[in-house]
Structure 1
Amino acid sequence: MSRRTPLALATAAAGLLAVATVSSTAGSAGAAPAAAPAARPASCTPTLQAGTQVVPIRFAGGRTDVQVFVPSHRPARVPLVLDLHGSSSNGPAQAGISDLSVVAEREGFVVVNPTAAIELPPSDPPLPGGSWAWNVPGVPTTAGQFPPPGARDDVAFLSAVLDQVGAAGCVDTRRTYATGYSGGGRMASALACELSDRIAAIAPVAGLRAGRPAPDEVSVPEVQSCTPRQPVAVLTFHGTADGVNPYGGSEDLRWGYSAPVAAQTWARLNDCRTGPLRTTLTEHVSLTTYTRCAGGADVEFERIDGGGHTWPGADEPEGPLGPITQEVDASETMWAFFEAHPKPV
């Protein structure tokens, strides 16, 4: 399946959707995440139509428009995948990177592509809809600054997105998943820490975390910053030549400890009893697995030797952020993982 590279995103996003600018009333830092909804009754009439559409999300007294894709054929209770953009990007641009709607149309799941609310300087070339960053709890943005006071609480906002899209789309609450690229992967990781009763599995690309780096020793996670109440299955992809979120870690409080340490920490959080077991998938891709985990929440880590800060499976072998492997398709692989890891009954 073909994918579009980051360089092609401006054109793709322009034709897909103009993202509404988030108003200053869209959220506040003090909002609390919504509690996990009870299982919905067997009968439900979806109000969302098939195809790509904008869904207005009410949050903290304001409205934010969110891009949603609904497949043509869907079960009575449809799975949902939250697909979060990287820093200096937006929801429609991320939809162009992942092309998850192609997989969703075939497999029958909803894809949600929200946009963050911290505005960053425009990218080069500028993206239609602007450049935004997530308020990942406890860490600075790529601009090196902590979110300003009153910045939208994105854990609470994304919980509201799950509530409202879930109700309108008749979503299966046992099959709610999150992925994200770069900063979106860090945000998806934070959701697994904070909303473990709602998120069955995550699959960050170039962005898996297990809590923020410890401020006095960034090579390890701060234990108290990620205390999920339930196990969350984890799949991640990371290139060894990633220059933005380095495979081996960095001194940056935004990133810190290495990608392997993040996977190992999730294996500990999920009480995995077997692993790490490493197997070779292709010439440049290896898989490390941790299994026999609590609640069936396996942890899988795909290492791409020589891979850049890129989404595996994009059209071209190399982009502005380094090589893009063609040996694995992240979107196809993560859906197979998600499908195998619903929340236990």
Structure 2
Amino acid sequence: MRHALVALFAVLMPAAAPAADLTEPRCHAEVPCTLGARSYHVKEPDGWDGVSPLPVLLHFHGWMRQGTLIVKHGRISGATRRRGVLLLAPNGEGKTWDFWTDQTNDVAFAAAVIEDAARRYPIDRSRIYVSGYSYGAAMAWRYACENGDAVAALLAVSGTLPQSETCPEAPAEVRHVHGTSDMVMDFPFGPDGETTWPVRLWRARMGCDGPGTRAGAWSVTEHDRFERTTWACDEGRIALDVHARGHFIPRGWIARQLDELLSLPPSYP
């Protein structure tokens, strides 16, 4: 599926521009990597030896943002660069994402970003993580829905697709965090105020459509406290973290998910 999406994006893109002047700075951090008419940003982890395969976090920015913010964001880039993870931050057209239906070019573009990065870096394809915040979280859900077989984990913050959607693919693992007071991307309460509804789509798709296991409260910092529910599914695992606040990226949440996924000692930041 991934290669078909990349081929589709290549067809949709205009002809490549002439080779860049070799005196131009290498694309990294705030200097974008061009990909046809579009672009993305990349941030290497601290202390990388230049040869070891790198886990990847593909992160979709929020509405009216760009990848330049992501590669400087302490709660995103700060987490990846301390944990040996290569951060990829694609730029949405018009500073937003088309996640509303499966008829979107953005899935193919994001798949092409990973392939382009793989030509520049030795990426570990068994550890490709996809994340996003707000509209970017909905886009991360859309990517996992359409191209999830290549995704080791979805890390979504405060944004979903409608729980009635049907996804042809799914990631190996889903981790989602959402605040019950969120009024930007409203918390999707279920019947009678059920708070496990934000991952209802994945519970059905991955074969774990039950009440789940209450793992109890946990926190990374004193600012936010989460109630975690987990599911062991026929086709993977799901973890839902619910907090009582609004629309934001909780301190240390992405970092803690990466620690757990990479079997690292929990740390902050």
TM-score of the superposition, structure 1-length normalised? 0.61
| Map 1:141-156 → 2, pairs under 5 A | 153-156=105-108
| Map 1:207-218 → 2, pairs under 5 A | 207-209=159-161, 213=162
Change (3 A) 1:64 1:195: same
Matched, 1:68 2:31: no
Structure richer in helix, relative to its length: 2
Match of 2:134 among 182, 186, 205: 182
Q: Distance in 2 between matches of 1:108 and 1:97?
A: 16
Partner of residue 280, structure 1: 217
Post-superposition offset of 1:152: 7.0
Matched, 1:79 2:42: no
Matched, 1:56 2:44: no
Partner of residue 267, structure 2: none
Change (3 A) 1:95 1:242: farther
Unaligned runs of 5+ in 1: 1-31, 36-47, 120-131, 140-150, 214-219, 251-257, 314-328, 341-345
Q: CA RMSD in A?
A: 3.0
Q: Distance in 2 between matches of 1:86 and 1:185?
A: 8
Matched, 1:309 2:247: yes
* Contact preservation (8 Å) 2:55, 2:85: yes
Partner of residue 144, structure 1: none
Q: Distance in 2 between matches of 1:333 and 1:50?
A: 28
Q: Distance in 2 between matches of 1:76 and 1:275?
A: 41
What amino acid is aligned across from residue 331 of structure 1 in structure 2? I
Number of residue-to-residue matches in the alignment: 234
Q: Distance in 1 between matches of 2:203 and 2:189?
A: 18
Post-superposition offset of 1:113: 1.2
Q: Deviations over 1:188-247 (max 9, x none)?
A: 0011111122211111100133xxx3xxxxxx4133xx121x543111110111011111
Match of 2:148 among 196, 210, 222: 196
Post-superposition offset of 1:97: 4.0
Q: Distance in 1 between matches of 2:195 and 2:53?
A: 34
What amino acid is aligned across from residue 289 of structure 1 in structure 2? T
Partner of residue 164, structure 2: 221
Match of 2:258 among 314, 321, 335: 335
Post-superposition offset of 1:103: 2.5
Change (3 A) 1:264 1:336: farther
Matched, 1:299 2:224: no
Q: Distance in 2 between matches of 1:50 and 1:156?
A: 21
Identity percentage over the alignment?
25
Q: Distance in 2 between matches of 1:64 and 1:248?
A: 33
What amino acid is aligned across from residue 54 of structure 1 in structure 2? V
Change (3 A) 1:54 1:222: same
Partner of residue 146, structure 1: none
Unaligned runs of 5+ in 2: 8-24, 264-269
Partner of residue 8, structure 1: none
Q: Distance in 1 between matches of 2:32 and 2:139?
A: 21
Change (3 A) 1:114 1:259: farther
4+ runs deviating over 6 angstroms: 48-51
Matched, 1:262 2:198: yes
Q: Distance in 2 between matches of 1:98 and 1:259?
A: 29
Q: Distance in 1 between matches of 2:204 and 2:63?
A: 28
Q: Distance in 2 between matches of 1:63 and 1:338?
A: 34
Post-superposition offset of 1:335: 0.9
Post-superposition offset of 1:55: 4.7
The 3-state SS of whatever aligns with 1:134 is coil
* Contact preservation (8 Å) 1:231, 1:294: no
What amino acid is aligned across from residue 204 of structure 1 in structure 2? A
Q: Deviations over 1:237-287 (max 9, x none)?
A: 10111011111359xxxxxxx973231321221223875112122584210
Matched, 1:34 2:2: no
Post-superposition offset of 1:102: 2.4
Change (3 A) 1:73 1:284: closer
Change (3 A) 1:259 1:171: farther
Q: Distance in 2 between matches of 1:160 and 1:50?
A: 16
